[in-house]
Chains A and B, each alone.
Chain A
């Protein structure tokens, strides 16, 4: 029941920007877009999330299209340590007091190379 579609794999040269796309054409008005990553043999790591505005933090930027049907995670200067599986997840709003959950898909395996 994945709500998102991501390319299975991408390559990026170290020092370049990594742009990871995600389609979520059935997203509803109260659903957020979350990005997590999982470096080999580690637990998933939260990166960023957004509703409709673009967001930036110390790790990445999130660009959400105006119709909210797709988004792009941008790692501005990829390093070898960014090699991981990146998951794009849409989730119910957690702000209404009801329990919400993350449903992980298959993600995009990003390989950063020298």
Chain B
């Protein structure tokens, strides 16, 4: 049973398109995160949700919009994709009162 799952695993698209990445966790955690890992392997937090409420919003272009329909799901929608959005996006989850985060396998986004 996968604890944190992401779909799709790979995403190749053209500049200007809109795409979504889905994340689900079955660990019963109340906090979920999106991270971006660029080509230089720097891993940076983008967003965090606690019980469907946005609690961390780093300096991210507003083309990126996270949505949490329930505390087990956190989706990432990206509008008007740009070349610089190419990266691996990781979803993670944890209990709120801990930084023991469980990461998903990542979604490799390639924008052509």
Contact = CB atoms under 8 A, between A and B. Distances in A.
Interface string A52-68: 00000000000000000
A87 B45 CA distance: 15
B56 A101 contact: yes
Interface string B43-54: 111001010000
B99 A99 contact: no
B1 interface: no
Contact of A101 (B41, B42, B45, B104): B45
A43 B97 contact: no
B79 interface: no
A94 B96 contact: yes
Contact of B100 (A42, A46, A85, A97): A46
Interface in A30-64: 32, 34, 38, 41-46, 49
A88 to B, nearest CB: 13
Interface residues of A, number: 24
Contacts of A101: 45, 48, 56, 99
A5 interface: no
B47 to A, nearest CB: 10
A102 interface: yes
Contacts of A45: 103
B103 A43 contact: yes
B50 A32 contact: no
Interface string B39-72: 0011111001010000110000000000000000
Interface of A: 32, 34, 38, 41-46, 49, 85, 87, 89, 91, 94-95, 97, 99-104, 106
Interface of B: 4, 41-45, 48, 50, 55-56, 90, 92, 96-106
26 contacts: A32-B99, A38-B43, A41-B106, A43-B4, A43-B90, A43-B103, A44-B90, A44-B103, A46-B100, A49-B99, A91-B99, A94-B96, A94-B98, A95-B97, A97-B97, A99-B55, A99-B96, A101-B45, A102-B45, A103-B44, A103-B45, A104-B42, A104-B43, A104-B44, A106-B41, A106-B42
